[in-house]
Amino acid sequence: MHNVSANGANIPALGFGTFRMPDADVHRILPQALKLGFRHVDTAQIYKNEAAVGDVIANSGIARSDIFLTTKVWVDRVGHQAFIASVDESLQKLKTDHVDLLLLHWPQSEMPLADRIGALNELRQAGKVKNIGISNFSTALMAEAVKLSDAPIVNNQIEYHPYLDQTKVLGEASRTGVSVTAYYLMADGAVPKDEALKDIGATHGKTAAQVVLRWAVQQKDVIALSKTATESRLPENFEIFDFELSEEEMAAIHKLARPDGRIVSPGHLAPEWDQ
């Protein structure tokens, strides 16, 4: 597996995501993922599973320095003290003195963006977070976050899959040296059933899911989050670095994008998306 380097951060190109994963599943599946070779783990305050993630990492026998750990601050952490206290609580649950990447989970919050970016910078200066970033930010908000921050913004975690064209966000990220982490790559289960993707997979002896994970990590400065609660699927998700998609195959996958491709857009959290 390669790392994606962005504004000083070195992020493993394939991560294990824990969205909607209850503690029991985290305790069952994350140890197997780490044993297999996953070294990038993604969680969030709102997932309510930081403590389980922390338990598994602490008991894994893998040095903390070998794991890239990301968490995200939820939008209701309003006010400087509440924001900082929430991160201290996350660190306690995660059983670590730092996270490798701390993201603002969504752009909309009653706490102004400048104040939230200021808090991220303070946490970084204190050594509680190594790198800072954002999630679900549009190009305009990305540019604003970069401008507001003293420390480099290293990542924007966004919904990205073959049915959603994110060319504009990727372009803005590239312009500012920001990496992009793709979540929802399976597009709510549409990807594994897609005949065009299955056909591409057949030529490589791979599944449609593996094709899309490979499509993501084969793009410059893009990191893929994979997620499964099924142990037998773990090796499938991990084995995406032993083949390469041709330029024609990459283009064919990009062409699957459609205007109504976005899946995740909660009205009270989402920005005005790039059209």
CA distance 102 to 99: 7
Give the H or E element holding residue 203. Answer: helix 195-204
Annotation marks residue 184 as catalytic: no
142-171 pLDDT per residue, tens = 999 999 999 999 999 999 999 999 999 999
Binding residues for substrate, as ranges, are: 105
Domain spans of the chain?
10-186+220-227
Beta carbons of 160 and 186 less than 8 angstroms apart: no
The Cα–Cα gap between 185 and 121 comes to 30
pLDDT at 44: 98
- Residue 102: name the closest of 72, 68, 57, 140 by CA: 72
Q: Has residue 33 got a pLDDT over 90? A: yes
Q: What is the pLDDT of residues 5-16, one digit of tens each?
A: 999 999 999 999
Please answer whether residues 243 and 204 qualify as being in contact, where contact means their C-beta atoms are separated by less than 8 angstroms.
yes
Predicted confidence (pLDDT) at residue 138 exceeds the cutoff of 90: yes
Question: Which residues line the annotated binding site?
Answer: 105
Torsion angle of alpha carbons 194, 197, 202, 207, nearest 10°? -80
User: What pLDDT shows up at residue 181?
Assistant: 98
From the candidates 47, 160, 163, 183, give the one annotated as an active-site residue. Answer: 47
Residue type for position 158: I
CA separation, residue 252 to residues 72, 185, 188, 194, 260 (Å): 33, 16, 20, 13, 18
Average confidence (pLDDT) over 202-227: 98
Q: Average of pLDDT values for 233-240?
A: 95
Q: How far apart are CA 96 and CA 69, in angstroms?
A: 10
Residue 159 pairs in a beta bridge with: 183
Question: Between the CA of residue 27 and those of 65, 140, 226, 261, what are the distances in Å?
Answer: 21, 39, 17, 33
Q: Does the pLDDT at position 275 exceed 90?
A: no
Mean per-residue pLDDT, 83-92: 98
pLDDT at 192 over 90: yes
pLDDT of residue 61: 97
d(Cα 82, Cα 50) in Å, to the nearest integer?
A: 18
Burial of 106 (C-beta count, 10 Å sphere; 0-12/13-18/19+): buried
As its CATH architecture, domain 10-186+220-227 has Alpha-Beta Barrel (3.20)
| Residue that is written with structure tokens 């005005």 in the block | 272
